[in-house]
């Protein structure tokens, strides 16, 4: 998980650096109008921006798949469908980046050549997020319900805390993807703003659980549960 977090940091930083370079090219180093540089889809920096976005999205989905796989006892059958969707998603992203390199200058991001690929890519990302998060929440809730009778006096059960963190992070990521799909579907220039924001949101939301454990809140709740655990009496009959 640490390696995945570092890669997400790399992709987020690369995205910001590419944008800075793009702005410098448009307003300082370019001899023409800034809009001409921004609309130059085959521009190497523009292609790099899309590649960083696709890589960040793929990394976030892989983390979700890994968490779902682990929480279900490393059973592949549980995550086989999301894995297939993830492969299709990265395929759409790579195809979109490749097609972007062949587009002419002054091509808008809503160019029909990559519009369908991007919509498919984001739809798959949204579906993977909803499916895997639902599976994780269902698993945590099932276990929480099973052990509730042994820890009925605990108000802030660690499983409940984990459930809240998972739902919160998933809600932010899902809402961001929905907004991006909407603005892109209506071919609005707001898609540039949302897509630039969501790549940072991915890194934030997928590290919420790690940050929570690093702060010790989850461990503290676990210790409270252990010290206050009530075990029901066992009766043996003949």
Map out the domains of the chain as residue ranges. 2-228
**Which residue, chain included where needed, has tokens 């993830």?**
86
pTM above 0.95, yes or no: no
Q: Could you list the pLDDT tens digit for every one of the 238 residues in the chain?
A: 778 888 888 999 999 999 898 888 888 887 778 777 777 777 888 889 889 999 999 999 998 899 899 888 899 999 999 999 999 999 999 998 888 888 766 555 667 778 888 899 999 999 999 999 899 888 888 877 776 666 555 555 566 677 777 787 788 888 999 999 999 888 887 888 888 899 999 888 888 777 766 665 544 444 444 344 444 444 444 3
> Rounded to the nearest 10 degrees, what angle do helices 112-147 and 158-185 cross at?
160
């Amino acid at each position: 998980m640490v390696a995945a977090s570092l890669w997400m940091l790399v992709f987020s930083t690369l995205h910001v650096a590419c944008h800075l370079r793009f702005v410098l090219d448009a307003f300082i180093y370019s001899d023409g109008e800034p809009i001409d540089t921004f609309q130059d889809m085959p521009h190497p920096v523009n292609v790099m921006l899309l590649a960083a976005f696709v890589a960040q999205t793929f990394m976030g989905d892989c983390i979700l798949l890994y968490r779902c796989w682990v929480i279900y006892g490393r059973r592949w059958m549980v995550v086989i469908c999301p894995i297939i969707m993830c492969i299709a998603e990265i395929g759409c992203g790579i195809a979109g980046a490749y097609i972007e390199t062949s587009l002419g200058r002054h091509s808008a991001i809503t160019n029909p050549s990559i519009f369908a690929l991007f919509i498919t890519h984001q739809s798959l990302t949204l579906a993977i997020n909803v499916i895997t998060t639902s599976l994780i929440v269902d698993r945590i809730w099932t276990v929480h319900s099973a052990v509730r009778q042994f820890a009925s006096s605990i108000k802030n059960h660690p499983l409940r805390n984990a459930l809240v963190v998972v739902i919160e992070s998933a809600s932010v990521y899902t809402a961001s993807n929905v907004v991006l799909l909407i603005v892109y579907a209506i071919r609005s220039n707001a898609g540039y703003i949302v897509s630039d924001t969501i790549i940072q949101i991915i890194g934030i939301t997928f590290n919420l659980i790690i940050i929570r454990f690093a702060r010790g809140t989850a461990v503290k709740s676990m210790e409270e549960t252990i010290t206050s655990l009530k075990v029901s009496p066992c009766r043996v009959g003949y």
